[in-house]
Chains A and B, each alone.
Chain A
Amino acid sequence: MLFQQLINGLTLGGVYAIVALGYTMVYGILELINFAHGEIYMLGAYLGIIFLGIFTAIGLTEANLPLALFLTVLLAVFFCAAYGFTMEKVAYKPLRNAPRLSPLISAIGVSLFLQNYVMLTQGATDKVFPSRFGESRITIMNGEITFLQILIIAVSALIMLSLHLFRKTRWGKAMRAATQDKTMAALVGINVDGVISLTFCIGAALAAVAGVMVAAYYGLVNHFIGYVAGIKAFTAAVLGGIGSIPGAMLGGILLGLAESTGAAYLSSEYKDAYAFVILLIILLIKPSGILGRRSEEKV
């Protein structure tokens, strides 16, 4: 029982961690809570269903499932990155020097827009993932793990690893420099606007991968999923220390584990409330999170 919950928690946690990375990277560079990030994840889930639906219709899914899945993820990543890029250019960039409330409100606007945009174009009813796969189970220590769960955990781990490696590259270094000080970074010749766009694109691409995986895992998607998932991922980011990339990974996994064990041993009706309760407790006890650094506010 416990082992089973650990597996479920790790699967969920991997997904939360990937979405949380998007929050934390944007926060690190702009000190902006990108409220609409959860909606990008929702777009990713829908895009997964749409493209896999097309591939199923033309028979690619039956002929070569891995290729169809790969192409689906690739297309979802491309479109989500495009949405993330556009969102930044339209709703955040003009407000970069505005009072703090302004970009937050404009983010809420983007979030409302995307939710209703998907509802209007795709219908208000739940969408079903067109293909079931990876349902064969392996039993380890009284717990069952499906192939899909292994896939999700592996992909999450791979993404975290590659993001870690990315930080050592040229653009990764530019991103870290911009996180520390945008003005100084610009003075030494870093294209800060480009770095910010790239950050949004990477965050959105990661959210897209998470969205497709969740759509496949639960099999059902509606236009509200972004809101709750966004809040949970944000909780994960804060739990680990917002602005810290390893923190987001740790926070996501911890949150996933807490949620699945909580649902199993406490009450499943309040499953969605655990994230909020954890968030409240963290913010009250240690607002800087587990791996975050404390920042002093200056006049």
Chain B
Amino acid sequence: MRAGARDAELHGGDAAGKIRALFGRSPLFRSLVIGAWAGLLLLPFKNVRAALLLFMTVAAGLVLLYGARAFGRTEAWKKSAFRALLQRGARSVSPYARSSVLPVLLAVFLVVPLAVKDYYLDVLVMAGIYTLLALGLTIIVGFTGLLNLGFAAFYAVGAYAYALLNTKAGIGFWPSLPLAASAASLAGLLLAIPALRLRGDYLAIVTLGFGEILHLVLNNWDSLTNGPNGIAGIAPPSLAGFSLGALRPYYYLVLVFVILAGISVVRVKNSRIGRGWIAIRENEIAAASLGIDATKYKLLAFAAGTFWAGIAGALFAAKMRFVSPESFTFTESGLILSMVILGGLGNPYGAAAGAFLLVILPEVLRDLQLYRMLILGIGLVLLMVFRPQGLLGGRGGK
């Protein structure tokens, strides 16, 4: 008897039980309660009108959602020709069509500059640079499962390395490029050597802290980095006497690097090293018991991933001819990470697709510019809840 009374106390009295039953049974009631809750949460931050509007939108949206779900369960829908058509449509992409996607894409990217306006080409160049970053981060987060929240720091190292080498020492783009990439790689190793002793989420925080410290240093070391004013007058690259500074040649330069990075990342994924990384992601202890030197492989992942960030940084500095700490904040790291996750963790094609989506979408939805990060935040949560493997499949890290 006593235990029963205790049970009732712990699980709420009769009234609470009734409410819960009602809540579980009636979708309409549920929608109204959730809508009212959302409105209540918004109330202090905005006004009564906005709160009421949110209440109605959420409640109506949920009612529609429940309605659609109920409709999906009905016999009529299951037998309908439309549903069969939808399913057949989804399955009809043949392997031949799939294997021709890459050559077609490449051809499109080769001829695009002849057809589009400079503005769109500029966006595409940025998408290319972000693709490099996303591919680099794919190695670290996607293959090896090491969450890196300060990736923009390595991007910054590459950009500042080229900026300083060029403006202070007068070294050209091509000799600087390997130096910038190695500088980023070295920074990655310097961070990774101590940090890899830590478990996953601690590592994330340490990389975050590293990004923040680097940002502070760039902002405050006036004699070297010129502080928040940044470094201007960086020379564009040139090849055999030709300047590649104009938009079209520069586009092809970035395209070449994206192709190089793409090939190397896809190839390395299926190599001995790539499989080692994936084994570590799936279960580090099991991987170690199979003779994989986890520390060595993780260091390698950091070095390889940050290498591409360094290249991307140098390309960015040469494109803008100007760098400042503004461009390398936590938001940037978050954006790159979102690209990798959006496309599908561990899938290089997904990372590239994510980079293109997240660079091009905000340009297309100019009016929604303000809401960009808000939508990105909601998107990340929804993606994790409903499709953790990302848009293009691939298997998530464990």
Contact = CB atoms under 8 A, between A and B. Distances in A.
Interface string A263-284: 0000001101101110110011
A91 to B, nearest CB: 5
B206 A280 contact: yes
A120 interface: yes
A287 B374 contact: no
Q: What interface size band does chain A fall in?
A: 35 or more
A146 interface: no
Contact of A113 (B37, B201, B378): B378
A104 B204 contact: yes
A56 to B, nearest CB: 15
A227 B341 contact: no
Interface in B173-228: 194-195, 197-202, 204-206, 208-210, 212-213, 216-217, 220
Contacts of B50: 121
24 contacts: A32-B201, A47-B44, A51-B44, A82-B37, A95-B385, A99-B398, A109-B377, A109-B383, A110-B381, A112-B373, A112-B376, A113-B374, A115-B373, A117-B374, A189-B6, A191-B11, A227-B330, A231-B205, A231-B212, A238-B205, A270-B220, A272-B216, A276-B210, A284-B197
Interface in B351-398: 370-371, 373-374, 376-381, 383-385, 388, 396-398
B199 A297 contact: yes
A116 interface: yes
A108 B334 contact: yes
Nearest to B345: A101
Interface residues of B, number: 60
Contacts, number: 155
A79 B204 contact: no
Nearest to A31: B201
A91 B385 CA distance: 7
A33 B377 contact: no
Nearest to B11: A191
B384 A109 contact: yes
Q: Which of A46, A118, A284 has the most CB of B within 10 A?
A: A284
A105 B384 contact: yes
Contact of B202 (A272, A276, A283): A283
A211 B249 CA distance: 52
Given A106-B385, A112-B377, A299-B285, A82 B198 contact: no
The 10 closest A-B pairs by CB, nearest first: A109-B380, A113-B377, A112-B377, A276-B209, A116-B374, A106-B384, A109-B381, A121-B45, A99-B398, A116-B373
